[in-house]
Amino acid sequence: MVAIVDYGVGNLFSLVSSLRAIGQEAEVTSDPAAIRAADRVILPGVGAFGDAVEKLNASGLRDVVLECAAAGKPLMGICLGMQMLFEKSFEFGEHEGLGLLKGQVVPMEGRLPAGLKIPHIGWNALRFEKESPLFRYIGEGDCVYFVHSFYAEGCADSLIADTEYGRPITAAVQRDNVFGCQFHPEKSGSVGLNILRAFCEV
């Protein structure tokens, strides 16, 4: 069973549907016992970093997620959920993340060449930087769907794929059992489903 951590952020309809489509039982839950009992944990997220971290902390689930990661349970952060795995974010101020991965989240604004639109919205190609079990069923150059205005940097040790948007942008990360996707696998067609399938087999 895959537990999707529900801390009051975002719409999890598609994520649940996509996991069901690959034959995985999935439960959206804020129950620490259910998250601890799950085989795998997904940390979703949309919206602003500060607000999301605050909600995760207030829900009491921050420690549960950290505990699962420390116990070696496969954990995947998606979009803002990935960004929260890092040490800190500079989205509207400075906020502390979960610190599971080394690196920080910075705005695209001022860091992209002129003329590129922000947010980075649409399908963009993955460039593999390191081998990962997450890529078992997909190929280099496959496109996935992104929607974001901030990105992770200083994460060379966990970077497994990036994408080109005026500059290399962190697309996927992994350190041991901790995974993250900046893009939305649940909105990335068959490539996305294959990434979720690979995660469910880790």
Partner 1 sequence: MITKRIIPCLDVKDGRVVKGVNFANLSDVSSPVELGKYYSDCGADELVFYDITASSEGRKLFTDILRQVAEQIFIPLTVGGGINTIEDFDRVLKCGADKVSVNSGAIRNPDLIGQAAEKYGSQCVVLSVDVKRVDGQFRVFAKGGREDTGMEAISWIRDCVARGAGEVVVNSIDTDGVKGGFDIELLKIVEAAVDVPVIASGGAGCIEDFITLFREIPDMDAGLAASIFHFGQVKIADLKRELHRAGIVVRQ
- Active centre residues (catalytic): 79, 184, 186
Binding residues among 103-122 for partner 1 as defined by CB under 8 A: 115, 117-122
- Side by side, the strands of the sheet bearing 75-78 are 26-29, 2-5, 40-43, 75-78, 178-181, 168-175, 159-164, 127-128
Give the number of C-alpha atoms closer than 13 A to the C-alpha of residue 18, restricted to the C-beta side: 22
Residue (of 108, 102, 111) closest to 155 by Cα position: 102
* Span from 8-16, 28-36, 129-137, 170-178 in contact with partner 1 (CB under 8 A): 8-16
Nearer to partner 1, 33 or 110 (CB): 110
> Measured from the CB of residue 157, what is the shortest distance to partner 1 in angstroms?
26
Binding residues among 27-56 for partner 1 as defined by CB under 8 A: 46-47
Binding residues among 119-158 for partner 1 as defined by CB under 8 A: 119-125, 143, 145-147
> Measured from the CB of residue 14, what is the shortest distance to partner 1 in angstroms?
6
**What is the C-alpha to C-alpha distance for residues 164 and 12, in angstroms, rounded to an integer?**
28
Number of helices (H), then strands (E), belonging to the chain: the values are 6, 14
Residues that bind partner 1 (CB under 8 A): 11, 13-14, 17-18, 20-21, 46-47, 115, 117-125, 143, 145-147, 164-165, 186-190, 192-193
